Structure 1
Amino acid sequence: MPGDPGHQKRALRAELRERRRTQTSSERSAAAEGITRNLIELTRSTGARSVSCYLSAPDEPETRDYLKWTVENGIRALLPISRDDGLLDWTVWDGSEEDIGLFGLPEPVGDLLPPYAINDVDLILVPAAAVDERGVRMGWGRGYFDKTLGSMENCPPVYAVVFDSEVIDEVPRERHDQPVNGAVTPTRVLRFASSSRS
């Protein structure tokens, strides 16, 4: 059904995946520099000393240079490790090793911390396929981050990391979708005034 948010999301994800695949290497390189600069700016402006981030997949906005900066600046970075039950374990990133986890995505190697370890961070950075200025985030359909964010009692600011063209007018929303406080793109840091985390 065209009006069904699930159907709309599937169509939108397919379009966004194709857009990411057709980026040139120079576009990717410029985007990586901008993302790194803006993630650092956001981290400094929030005063975060502990963050949750992730290792970007090849077609995602690059997070590794930012993660290198966190290690060099004494900022504790927790990175997710997917579990079969739909929850995320975490490990503290030291910049040394990564592996391929569930779904063929890059994941860190390290001592496992339980799902509630994320409760101690000051800032959460999440991957996204798209986000709108109401703070509605669309992921890639597995629900890991929606589950994690939905289970947190005192959630710190949450920012989606996307390319500029992925901040769109409206993202189809379903009941389980968790809002974000803002987005980081290669050219800007957006804060969504209307986003409410309940």
Structure 2
Amino acid sequence: MPTDESNDKRALRAELRERRRTRPAHVVDAANAGFTANLIALATEKQARTISAYLSTSFEPDTRQFLNWAIADGRRVLLPIARQDGLLDWAEGDGETETEGLYGLPEPVGGILGPIAINDADLILIPASAVDQHGTRMGWGRGYFDRTLGSMEKRPPVFAVVFDDEILEQVPRELHDAPVDGAVTPTRIIRFS
């Protein structure tokens, strides 16, 4: 039986998904330039040589310009590949070559490295529907990143990538939800204590 938190999450996700889908194109374009600049600043600050990121969908903050910069700058980029068993495999990506994966999400084309490859990352960038002021991240409901982060012995800094209006006072939290260390928005880099 679903908990109140899972019902609250489902309703909030639907609202946030609709907000993303109806965001005007000129607003998204301006935001994407800000995302790229702030992601570059964060990767540079953290001196991240290996970065775990993701290929954004059309309604997510665009990570592709950042991925192009990281690869051109000689950084290793690990991108997730969803598996049926709820785990993530990883592949080194070029930010451009991709295929449609599980759930219709974009995935990299390349040799599969397996779930433990994420342990090489110096910085992890993950998608989110929202993040609250305490670092509670709400994903899209499949739990892939929560399982991945929860299984890591030594976790590098983890930052969610969200629009400014997706930093909320509080999001519903369940026991399995893995917190993030910060969030990257078009206008700022936020660190949670």
TM-score w.r.t. the length of structure 2 is 0.98
Q: 2: distance between equivalents of 1:96 and 1:142?
A: 25
Q: Which amino acid aligns with 2:185?
A: T
Q: Which amino acid aligns with 1:73?
A: D
- The answer for the alignment partner of 2:101 in structure 1 is 101
Structure 2 matches for 1:13-24, cutoff 5 A? 13-24=13-24
The gaps in structure 1 that reach 5 residues or longer are 194-198
Aligned length: 193
Deviation at 1:93, TM superposition (A): 1.1
- The answer for the alignment partner of 1:176 in structure 2 is 176
Structure 2 matches for 1:6-155, cutoff 5 A? 6-155=6-155
- The answer for the alignment partner of 1:196 in structure 2 is none
Q: 2: distance between equivalents of 1:104 and 1:31?
A: 24
The gaps in structure 2 that reach 5 residues or longer are none
Alignment RMSD:
1.3
* Runs of 4+ with >4 A deviation: none
Q: 2: distance between equivalents of 1:115 and 1:182?
A: 23
Deviation at 1:97, TM superposition (A): 1.0
The share of aligned pairs that are identical, in percent, is 62
Q: 1: distance between equivalents of 2:157 and 2:96?
A: 27
Residues 105-131 of structure 1 deviation map (CA, whole Å, 9 limit, x = unaligned) = 111111000100000110000000000
Residues 12-71 of structure 1 deviation map (CA, whole Å, 9 limit, x = unaligned) = 001000100111111111011000000000001111111100000000000000000011
Q: Which amino acid aligns with 2:23?
A: Q
Q: 2: distance between equivalents of 1:26 and 1:106?
A: 24
Q: Which amino acid aligns with 2:172?
A: P
Q: Is the contact made by 2:125 and 2:159 (CA closer than 8 Å) also made in structure 1?
A: yes
Q: For residue 16 of structure 1, give the secondary structure of its aligned residue in structure 2.
A: helix
Q: For residue 107 of structure 2, give the secondary structure of its aligned residue in structure 1.
A: strand
Q: Which amino acid aligns with 1:97?
A: T
Q: Which amino acid aligns with 2:137?
A: R
TM-score w.r.t. the length of structure 1 is 0.95
Deviation at 1:150, TM superposition (A): 0.3
Deviates more, 1:127-136 or 1:95-104: 95-104
